Amino acid sequence: MFHIRVRNRCIASGMMAAVMLVVPARAHASVAPSTKDFMRALDARIQRAKPREVFQRTIVFADVSAGEAEGKVFPFTVTATIHDYNPGWPPDHYYGRTCVTRIVRTRYTMLRDRLGEWTVETKADTPQPICTDNPTEGTSAFPLDSLRGTRVGTSTPLPALMTKRQVNVTLRLGDYACTGPGGRIVPEMKFRLNPDKTYTDLDGTRGGTYVFDGFSGTLKFRGGFLDKKGGPSVESLSVFLVTPTLTCAPW
């Protein structure tokens, strides 16, 4: 009898534990999210969309207002700033750039997914960022301290060591040729990268300047026949996708 009673008590305790796990879960689903819950969820969503060339992304919330719930959907209106910082490649005297995207009175909705996690959605398009080259090494063109508001969630600085992850990589200079769809060389898209940060065609008659960002592995051109073209490295740091259909490599 003693063993049976202990066994029954264990079974009863197990049933109570199961009930206690289920009841809070049902109650939790009907509880409205706090403003802080929303800010964390939106911060995480924006961080996931961070482009490769951005070293540090920070979201600063200036105003968050909760609206009236629509069933299990909770609306919020947000004014915030997305601050994207890239340190550039100081050894080449390129100090990166800072981009600022302003979200003004944008409506978001918040609801739980099938796993019970908060998700944030919006029908609004993301505004175009305003970008400016940084003036000196380690200095942002738009200092974070100039943005008033609250930072939450994943908006924390990354270790300084991460800025040195490509410190031993150098750009290969010399002649390059570009291939289009099908692997055919495009004759008018051959160029030469010079040590003085200029580029020319292979005859040396036309050209402009270029910037190589060692942090993101991106080559960009300014002026000349390749003006505003450029893109990230592919396969290696000597092969670049300078347009969606044009790949350039040492020639």
Cβ atoms 248, 176 nearer than 8 A? yes
Domain count, the chain: 2
Q: Is 248 left (phi over 0), alpha (psi -120 to 50) or beta?
A: beta
Is the whole-model pTM more than 0.85? no
Domain boundary pick from 164, 184, 206: 164
Whether residue 169 has pLDDT greater than 80:
no
The structure tokens listed for 165 are: 């992850």
CA-nearest of 128, 114, 149 to 43 is 149
Half-sphere exposure of 247 (CA within 13 A, CB side): 12
**Does residue 66 share a domain with residue 157?**
yes
Domain boundary pick from 164, 198, 215: 164
- DSSP-derived 3-state class of residue 111: strand
Mean pLDDT of 165-178: 71
Place of tokens 């009175």: 105
Cβ atoms 81, 60 nearer than 8 A? yes
CA-nearest of 100, 124, 120 to 112 is 120
Containing structural domain, residue 110: 35-164
CA distance 198 to 131: 23
Assess if residue 1 is contained within a domain: no
Assess if residue 184 is contained within a domain: yes
Q: What amino acid occupies position 93?
A: H
Assess if residue 11 is contained within a domain: no
Helix ranges restricted to H, the chain: 2-30, 35-48
- DSSP-derived 3-state class of residue 239: strand
Helices and strands: H and E segment counts in the chain: 2, 13
Domain boundary pick from 164, 196, 231: 164
**Does residue 188 share a domain with residue 75?**
no
Place of tokens 């207002």: 65
Q: What pLDDT band is residue 80 in, cutting at 50, 70 and 90?
A: very high
| Tens digits of residue pLDDT in 123-165 | 988 889 999 999 998 889 998 888 888 888 655 544 443 333 4
| Tens digits of residue pLDDT in 101-128 | 999 999 999 998 888 888 999 998 888 9
